[in-house]
Each structure stands twice: as structure tokens, then as C-alpha cells.
Structure 1
Amino acid sequence: MICSDIQKDLATTCGMEVTKVIKNGIGDKNFSILIDEARDCSIKEQMAVIVRFLDDHGVLQERFLAIKHITDCTSIGIKETLVDVLEYHGLSPSKLRCQGYDGASNMRGEFNVLQNLVRDEAPYAFYVHCFAHQLQLVVVTVAQCSPAIADFFNYIPLIVTQVCSSCKRKDALLVKHQDELLDLMENGKISAGTGLHQESSITRPRDTRCGSHLRTLFHIFSMWNTVADVLGIVVVDAREHTCQGGTRDFLKKHGMLGICIHHVVLKNLLSNTNHLSQALQRKNQNIVEAMRLILDVKESLRDMRDNGCESLFCQAKNFCETHDIDVPNMDDLVGTMDQ
């Protein structure tokens, strides 16, 4: 069993048996496909193919069919690879009724793109953009229409890079966060329990990854003082001012009311849309329920726009007071430029 050849034979045999079960489940029925491509750790482009079909009991089934290395990432190359995968597994493209992708540039459009190339082989294979992915792109794009929010989105990845770019900084982040949690528990400000306050780190947000912006904001929000401490370490350890990589400016912004307001607004905005995104990612989605959720989210966002300014500012103000960030008195008179 420790021989590599035996292990490979066992894995291949298991894969063949699983694939046979999937093909028997599909039979002569119509099916749809989901495709995505990504680079693996060896920097090779891999294409994953997933099939969706109704079994004999009318229950929707979703099965991972194959993963294929592709050398040509153009629409034509992906289409040829897809046809080869289907034919290899004995699935006729003529039975294809739906195709779903993540909306990347080489997978969408109107002319000479994958969806149209596939429909040349299967005329009834209609294209459906992943609704959760579409929602993610819309929210990020609309939010970045505001110059201030666009700057904030540019600021967050730079903070992640500065804080987590080395093992030393990442370890310091985790240790300081753990010490902060222990101090809060001893003072009775947070409660301890199974599954609470797990060790976490900060990851770079991705525009095409559902929920990544919210997770990053949530982690920075919960580790605010810890992030500031690590940025301070970077400033102190830098041998020269040019080696700080703008960290001093990041540290200054980190302690300003404006950044806190942006953080609170986006956290509330993305939390509202995240519930809808999670619902849209369910395999067995009720269309009526999905439409109701869309209306609920629209109403919630409209209410936040019309009546949420005071509440959002209070949240930002309370956050600043908790983390010893100066909050100016908004009732003070501000002199004009001529004075």
C-alpha cells in the first residue's frame, strides 16, 4: 500500500467508479454544466467541470465530473477542452441544456466567446451567469463609484500587505490579538465559549470572490487595535523612511474618523447583500424565495440610504470611542476659507 504505483492505481480506479456512477445517474437525460478555471500551486491552468441533472426521483443533483489541464485559455481552447471532456465521459453535447460560468472576459460576451461557441454544438445550452457572482461584481463596482470608497478599497489591500507580508508580522498580529482577547475576557467585555474567538488572520479581498470583502472588513474591524500595533512595529523596525512602504501614512489614516465611517458603512452594506449572496449559492434554490430576498435587500438598502445616516455615524462614533480615536464635535463652527 505504500508503493506509489499502487496508490495511483487505487486512486484511478476509485475515480473511474465514481465517474461511472455519475454517468449512470445522467443516462440519456438532459444536463447542464458549470465551468471554472484557476491556477493550481504549480502555476498550471486547470478547468473544473461540474454537471447538474435531475435524477430518477426528480431531485436536482450536482456532481464534480472532471478537472482538466488547459494550455489555451482562450474561448476556443476552453470550448475544445470541454467537448473533449464530455466525449471522453460519454456525454453528448446535444443533451446540454444550460451552461454557467463566473463571467470572466473569455467566458462571456456576444461574439466569439465560449457561450456562443458551445451553442454551436448545443443550440439549447442557454447561458446563465452565476447570480451570486453577478451580485458580488455589482456591489463592488457600484461602491467604487464613490471616490472616497474607491480609495478605501485601495487602502485595505495595502494594509493587508503591510500587516501580513512576512511571517514575523503575521505572528505578531496573532499573538497581540490573542492577548487582546484574553484581556477582554478577563474584564468581562466578551464571553468565552466553544467555537468563539477562533484564531483568524486577514486575507486580501477579491472582487470575484463572494463575501471576501466582508470577511476582510470584519477581521480588520475585530482586530483594529492589533493591526495598529503591528503597523507601529513596521514603522519602528524600518531602517529608513523609504523602507516603511507608506506604513506611517497607513497608521495615521487608521486612527481617523473618516476611515472608521467608511468601514462601518461598507460593513453594513456588505452584510445586507451577503445574506442574499449566501441564499443565491444554495443548490436547491426556491425562485420565489430568492425574489422575496431581493426585494427585502432592496428595501433594506433603501432604508439605510434614506434613514441610516444618523445610525451609521453613531456606530462609527461608538467604535472610535472604544478604540480611543478622536471624534471632532460636529456642532462646532468651521471657519470659511476667507477667515
Structure 2
Amino acid sequence: MRLSATISVCRYCLKCALPFRGHDESETSIYKGNFLKLMDFILFHNEELRKLPKAPGNNKLISSYIQKDIVKCFKQEVLDCIFKDIGDDVFALLVDESSDVSKKEQMAIVLRYDNAQGLVKERFVGLVHVKDTSSLSLKSSIDSFFSKHKVSMQQLRGQGYDGASNMRGEFNGLKAKILEENESAYYV
């Protein structure tokens, strides 16, 4: 029951794009954060859950590690649905790179495809940290991402990037590296 409540609160926070944690989560804090407040709310309104014996030690299933594990499971389920929706069909790759607040380089990956009903879907599938934004490094990260999710580069029929030379470069850009491997991956 505790795990079910924890999963429900995680699902709610994710659907509403709410932060889980608060600045001060101590017992005396007025506002402990969305996750703990919602857990208190569920506990207040669920008599069965209130009647459970006190969880020994830290076995309350409310730690940040538990929350992160549950969120990772949701992420994997969503990605599995997206890749199942694509199946063996073709798709386009949209990529942008930048650095985050801590100056670490990262690459956003979006896939665009037609689903079984013929609707065009555009899905953000990942934010990948890369050692640098050279075309070789980006290509290597894309290859690893495709391999991890069992997607073939041969399914790629389009690629779209911003105007940066490391992306659209005619000879050494990411576009050229992908076209070397798959001539059908047209650049837009």
C-alpha cells in the first residue's frame, strides 16, 4: 500500500510537472515540498494506509532515491511505448546541442514519425550528456542511444539541426557523418 501511494504521488508530480522536493523537509518545516505534502494528503484521506503499522527506520518509501527509481521506471515505460509505436517503420531525427548551467555539454534528441493511425508524432526521447559537441562525439552518442533502444540507423529517413557548422557541415558535420552511413537520411 505504501509503494502504491508513493507511485501515485510520483505519477501526479510528473503529470503536473511539479518539483518533488522542497528546500526544508524537516519535521518542523511548514512546507516540505510537493511530494511529502501529497503523501500527507493521501495518508489523511486513506484510513487503510493510516492503520498500517509504523514503518521501521527509513522504510517509508519516501526517500529521494525511491522517487528517482520510480521516475526512471516511468521514463523507461514511456520510451518503450514510443519505440513500440515506431516499430520497424522509418523516422526522422532532430538534434540540438548546448551546454547546461554547469557548463556540461548536452544533446537533446527528438524523433519524428508517423504512427499506425497515420498521425505525425514528434517525441522528445532524451537528453544525452556528451564530452564535447564535435560531430564525431555527437554521432557516437546517437549511435549509442540507437543501440541502447534497439533502433537501426537504416530506419532513419530525415535529420534536422540548427545552423551550427558542427551539425550541418558539408564534409565533417553530423549531417555528413550520418549520410555516410545512411544515404536515405535526408537533411532538412
TM over 0.5: yes
TM range (shorter): 0.5 to 0.7
Richer in helix (by share): 1
Q: Is 1:29 aligned to 2:89, yes or no?
A: yes
Q: How does 1:106-117 map to 2 (within 5 A)?
A: 106-117=166-177
Cα-to-partner distance string for 1:278-330 (whole Å, 9 max, x where unaligned): xxxxxxxxxxxxxxxxxxxxxxxxxxxxxxxxxxxxxxxxxxxxxxxxxxxxx
TM-score with structure 1 setting the length:
0.37
Amino acid at match of 1:59: L
Coordinate RMSD, CA, aligned = 1.0
Richer in strand (by share): 2
Q: Indicate the residue corresponding to 2:66 in structure 1.
A: 6
Amino acid at match of 1:8: K
Q: How far off is 1:40 after superposition?
A: 1.2
Q: How does 1:62-141 map to 2 (within 5 A)?
A: 62-128=122-188
Amino acid at match of 1:14: F
Q: How does 1:297-308 map to 2 (within 5 A)?
A: none
Q: How far off is 1:109 after superposition?
A: 2.4
Q: How does 1:263-302 map to 2 (within 5 A)?
A: none
Q: How does 1:314-329 map to 2 (within 5 A)?
A: none
Distance (Å, rounded) in 1 between the aligned partners of 2:159 and 2:95: 8
Larger radius of gyration: 1
SS for the counterpart of 1:103 is: coil
Distance (Å, rounded) in 2 between the aligned partners of 1:110 and 1:9: 42
Distance (Å, rounded) in 2 between the aligned partners of 1:12 and 1:114: 29
Q: How far off is 1:72 after superposition?
A: 2.4
Amino acid at match of 2:102: S
Q: How far off is 1:41 after superposition?
A: 1.6
Unaligned runs of 5+ in 1: 129-339
Distance (Å, rounded) in 2 between the aligned partners of 1:85 and 1:71: 15
> Of 86, 103, 109, which residue of structure 2 is paired with 1:49?
109
Higher relative contact order (CA 8 A, sep 6+): 2
Distance (Å, rounded) in 1 between the aligned partners of 2:170 and 2:103: 30
Structure 1 stretches of 4+ with a deviation exceeding 4 A read none
Q: Indicate the residue corresponding to 1:232 in structure 2.
A: none
SS for the counterpart of 1:106 is: helix
Distance (Å, rounded) in 1 between the aligned partners of 2:106 and 2:172: 22
TM-score with structure 2 setting the length:
0.66
Q: How far off is 1:55 after superposition?
A: 0.5
Distance (Å, rounded) in 2 between the aligned partners of 1:36 and 1:13: 25
Distance (Å, rounded) in 1 between the aligned partners of 2:163 and 2:148: 26
Distance (Å, rounded) in 1 between the aligned partners of 2:181 and 2:153: 6
SS for the counterpart of 1:64 is: strand
SS for the counterpart of 1:23 is: helix
